[in-house]
Structure 1
Amino acid sequence: MAEQVEPAVLIVGAGPSGLVLALHLRLNNVPVRIIDKQPEFSIGSRATLIQPRTLEQFSLLGITREEIFESGVVAHQMRIYAPPAGTTAVKTFNFQEPLESRPSVPFTQPVTMSQDIFESILRSKLEALGTKVELGVELKSILNIGDEPPVAELHHIKENRTEMLKVPYLVGADGAKGVCRQLFSIPFLGETREADKMKIADVETDGITNEFWHMWGSFATAALDFFIFPSSIDLKHVSSVGLKPLGHGNKFQYQLVGPKVNHEALQTAEDLQNEFWEISGRKDITFKNVTWITTWRGNMRLAQSLQSGRRFLIGDAGHCHSPAGGQGMNTSILDAINLSWKLALVHNHHASPSLLDSYESERLPVIAEMLDLTTALHEKVWENKNGIDSKPPPLEATKEDSTDPMYRPKHFSQIGVNYRGSPIVFDERVSSSQESEGEGSGTSFYHSSTTLQAGDRAPDAELTFTPEIPSLKGPQTLFSFFTPHSHTILIFPGTSSLKSEKFVDFFSAIPWAIAQALVVLPKESEEEIPIISGCQFGKDVAGSAYADYGVGSGAWEHTAVVVRPDGIPGGFAKSVGGLKTYFEKLLGVDGYRMLMSL
């Protein structure tokens, strides 16, 4: 019988954020328990859009590109149909502006995947590491407060028994209606807009192609009619209905909005079918199977804090917002990944517990700005869906239009999310005043600078590894070398000798217990590669790594870029001293010295 290991972290809630946190921690060999009060795993599409930044994180979680596209598809274009038959497309456009295709960006568009499918993939990865979600277990109370380890009172519903569990850390991932935030005594600031509702369901139909996200109603019918016959349309009495493909088959997410929709009366498959026919005019489209019918209500809120001592909030437990921007699940996953590697360092006694304070200082500005953006989009979309279209769609199909209320600019990919203002990032290349100001305009959610800075997202690049890495499957890239349990120190020697003292000195400052090293050679390098224990070499075959990391390739250039386990360059060092400074900021002086003595 396997020996029971006491958990270091109790995770309450087994949605995407809780599962990602659990998986990331287990990949760091941190013992966890993850509980959910529901008796069965949830079904239903719910959140469906996985942004490029989130897709990049999947490789760290052991989720392959093949697994992603086995169940998911690149987000479809939206197609709006004209009345009365609802068969003529008047506009087709991208829901979100694609990113430019280049080596640094492996995913240029979001992927659509049903949330229950995504969760099942995460659970299978977690179970492969020996951890299963405990269903039917509810957090009832926390018996102590302050900085002491939480003592959780758990109720096992089926057995009707109580368990008292003392853990070093407790993470609330139980959603906006969960108990964790209340038990942490953290206010949930914001508003609920009861008038803003959407009826959502999962339906199956063979009556229409799955190549587009189809929409009928106020965006096409009412606005188009108003453009042609302005006196004949009362725009305050219109509705919209959409069918969004959920994969490769015939399953769609049904979306119904409008000020006159009687949500309480729409409870059955027949109700939804009739409402669809009424708005779309498409009697040829019939639903064979309808599951998971629900009503979404406008709820835009942000927790006053994401941390209370040894207790943390991630995902919807800490913030909830309109689905208009397709940001919710993605932001929740980045919460989990930001917190997990820091918990792992502290649990393994490699860093001071004060490191955990950086979770809130890094994530809260990002979430606050995302909430402002999605709320603004919500107001723009719901204004139109309530019949106040600022401009009607053209009579002929057009390309993308940034003024369309359903259009999303490319920074919604979350590629620009950054922690430039974080207390634990360091850039030896710039002065303290430059570090605080940064280059270019922007925010924690998006920036316009072209020069990579500490706290930004690490770009990908094509490499040829020397020697070959037998365990590496698929393309040889920087991302394929990154791991969730180590910092990766990218050393750019330029054209200087690999035997030079400055180059060799970098290795004396690396805390190997928590880091791995990769020397990135210029594409023109012909120098014989030395054997350095624990170090891998890779040639920048396209030259994009040197360009995108802002590193010169001349003989005078020596730069080390420290990429954190969450794919963020936390430090840029031009010297051994700069490398030490980064790790001392991260781990504390004593923590760094302890690791260097191992």
Structure 2
Amino acid sequence: MQLNNVKDVSPVDVLIVGAGPAGLTLAIDLARRGVRARVVERGEGLFPGSRGKGLQPRTQEVFDDLGVSGAVREAGGPYPPMLGWQDERPLGEFQMIERADPGPDRPYHEIWMLPQWRTVEILYARLEELGGGVEFGTALTGLAQDAHGVTAHLAHADGSAGTARAAYLVAADGGRSTIRKALGIGMTGETVDPAPTLIADVVIAGLDRDRWHVWQHAKGGGIGLCPLAGTDQFQVAAQYDEPGAVPDTSPEAVRQLIADRTHLTATDVRWSSTFTPRAAMADRFREGRVFLVGDAAHIHSPAGGQGLNTSVQDAYNLGWKLGQVVRHGADPELLDSYEAERLPVAAGVLGISTRIHRAHRSGDAEGRRRTTEVHQLGLTYQDGPLAMDDREDRGPVGAGDRAPDAPCALPDGTPVRLFDVLRGPHFTLLVLGDATPPATDFGGLAPTLAAAECLHTIRTGGPNPDLLDPDGHLAAAYGPGPATFLIRPDGYVCWATDGARVRPTR
């Protein structure tokens, strides 16, 4: 490839292409690990629309670890009940989201509403706090990789061109990923609904913001107006009954659509877009030194609120692994576990999104309910390559499972949650009861994880405990012990052993 006016930039450890939720989450995680990362984004700024607006409990846990939980809680709010309408007549309230009670093992128990544009603003601000940034107006036009790294060719908004050199490249560039296509990675899937959907962010004066208003049988297709928490806006989601329809997304057309289907008047249209719901997944999530995350790897119907959340989980899974390899000398084979763990999860989540969408379309009130399966707290890597459980009885938590939270106390009686101890880019060796801290092979995972480089050991028993369990929440979540759990930086147990079978430390 011949390029003119080329700008060369010093090599980095990781080049991230795309500054959406996945790209920004990964950039934050790498920044706090001291990994040199560069983020480029084709657009001139952050994504301006709501699109994904629900943060599942597991994503809220990730954001807690990354230091943005406070801003997320302050900016958003819970989902309201739904109110059905027939023309100008209210039909009654109903719940589409199954409400879960809080528990000591999960600090976040409900879906939190936050429009996507606000989520990326918060993530971007956090990245800047950590010394990072985004190069907007910079598109990837080609790439080549060799045994030592990846060379990316870039085009800048001012017409100039440049190259970027990185040990690894991460494609977070969306469902139409330029990188996925350049690598020749196929996308296998199906059309979930042949008719398009229009979404928009609008202002409607005088409409009750304590409910999500729905006209399911409006002429031309159902429409919903959801008050976006923390804003003066509603998200419009308008389905079309006619397959192949081409929605007009101009402000005038969006206002007319709302008036025709709801008899309401939108005073301002801030953003609008259209899509035909699909469910598709890349045939593989890695090609050499290039990884796919987020929509570049899997495309969801928005039903069930899984797309943005699965994208964040991709980045969170990959970030610590890149950090271990780049910063701590872990065996590069660790990076093989990214696809091995995330591809099966993405396939399962796609099935949930598709099922909920089709139930909603068919009028199946029970099938379209968002139950706790969408919370992503039960996702597991039990069958993955990093799950080693040496116990005969797995107990309530086994290798590959999410490490639950628990209210505990410091030796002086100060209340503290287990998540406060786990927070940060380190591994945690959680020793329960009178188990003896193990030797450092961690069930054979040590060469892959290089855990000794960044390991915190926390004892909850013995003569000098680091944590107390005054109310028994830790024992209820993990079992009474003795037992030892190695918890990964992304909050999953990767090794568990019975205390009686642990080899003593010499």
TM (norm. structure 2) is: 0.90
2:306 is aligned with 1:307: no
- Distance, in Å, in 1 between the alignment partners of 2:287 and 2:244 is 41
SS at 2:194 equivalent: strand
Q: CA deviation at 1:275?
A: 2.3
Contact map agreement 1:198 1:295 (CA 8 A) in 2 = yes
Q: CA deviation at 1:110?
A: 0.3
Tell me the equivalent position of 2:188: 189
> Mapping of 1:84-95 within 5 angstroms?
84-86=87-89, 88-93=90-95, 95=96
Which digits, 9 at most, give the CA deviation of each residue in 1:127-174, with x for residues without a partner? 1111110011111111235x441111122231x222222211000000
Q: CA deviation at 1:576?
A: 9.2
Contact map agreement 2:192 2:301 (CA 8 A) in 1 = no
> Mapping of 1:502-581 within 5 angstroms?
503=436, 505-506=437-438, 512-521=452-461, 529=464, 537-550=466-479, 552=480, 557-575=481-499
Tell me the equivalent position of 2:238: 256
Contact map agreement 1:59 1:480 (CA 8 A) in 2 = no
Contact map agreement 2:285 2:292 (CA 8 A) in 1 = yes
SS at 1:325 equivalent: coil
2:339 is aligned with 1:360: yes
Distance 1:165 1:508, change over 3 A: closer
Give me the CA root mean square deviation.
2.6
Tell me the equivalent position of 1:128: 129
Q: CA deviation at 1:249?
A: 3.9
Paired AA for residue 570 in structure 1: C
Contact map agreement 2:55 2:113 (CA 8 A) in 1 = yes
- Distance, in Å, in 2 between the alignment partners of 1:194 and 1:268 is 23
Q: CA deviation at 1:261?
A: 9.0
- Distance, in Å, in 1 between the alignment partners of 2:152 and 2:492 is 33
- Distance, in Å, in 1 between the alignment partners of 2:177 and 2:14 is 18
Structure number, greater radius of gyration: 1
Which digits, 9 at most, give the CA deviation of each residue in 1:421-448, with x for residues without a partner? 01111111138xxxxxxx8xxxxxxxxx
Q: CA deviation at 1:43?
A: 0.6
- Distance, in Å, in 1 between the alignment partners of 2:53 and 2:68 is 17
SS at 1:211 equivalent: coil
Q: CA deviation at 1:191?
A: 2.9
Tell me the equivalent position of 1:270: 252
- Distance, in Å, in 2 between the alignment partners of 1:115 and 1:516 is 35
- Distance, in Å, in 1 between the alignment partners of 2:343 and 2:503 is 27
Q: CA deviation at 1:407?
A: 1.1
Q: CA deviation at 1:238?
A: 4.6
Distance 1:529 1:407, change over 3 A: same
2:488 is aligned with 1:489: no
Tell me the equivalent position of 1:343: 322
Contact map agreement 2:32 2:425 (CA 8 A) in 1 = yes
SS at 2:196 equivalent: strand
- Distance, in Å, in 2 between the alignment partners of 1:249 and 1:41 is 17
Paired AA for residue 207 in structure 2: I
Contact map agreement 2:52 2:115 (CA 8 A) in 1 = yes
SS at 1:186 equivalent: coil
Which digits, 9 at most, give the CA deviation of each residue in 1:15-50, with x for residues without a partner? 000000010111111110010011222211111010
Tell me the equivalent position of 1:458: 403
TM (norm. structure 1) is: 0.77
Contact map agreement 2:153 2:163 (CA 8 A) in 1 = yes
Tell me the equivalent position of 1:74: 78
Q: CA deviation at 1:288?
A: 2.1
Tell me the equivalent position of 1:243: 225
Q: CA deviation at 1:247?
A: 1.1
SS at 1:168 equivalent: strand
SS at 2:416 equivalent: coil
> Mapping of 1:318-333 within 5 angstroms?
318-333=297-312
- Distance, in Å, in 2 between the alignment partners of 1:406 and 1:376 is 8
Paired AA for residue 546 in structure 1: A
Tell me the equivalent position of 2:387: 425
Q: Which runs of 5+ in 2 are unaligned?
A: 1-8, 443-450
Distance 1:268 1:186, change over 3 A: closer
Identity of matched residues, %: 31
Tell me the equivalent position of 1:20: 25
Contact map agreement 2:482 2:500 (CA 8 A) in 1 = no
2:272 is aligned with 1:286: no
SS at 1:562 equivalent: strand
Tell me the equivalent position of 1:593: none
How many residue pairs match? The answer is 490
- Distance, in Å, in 2 between the alignment partners of 1:477 and 1:27 is 22
- Distance, in Å, in 1 between the alignment partners of 2:93 and 2:51 is 26
Distance 1:265 1:318, change over 3 A: closer
Contact map agreement 2:124 2:133 (CA 8 A) in 1 = yes
Contact map agreement 2:317 2:338 (CA 8 A) in 1 = yes
Q: CA deviation at 1:570?
A: 1.0
Q: CA deviation at 1:51?
A: 0.3
- Distance, in Å, in 1 between the alignment partners of 2:440 and 2:190 is 53
Tell me the equivalent position of 1:9: 14
Tell me the equivalent position of 1:112: 113
Distance 1:265 1:410, change over 3 A: closer
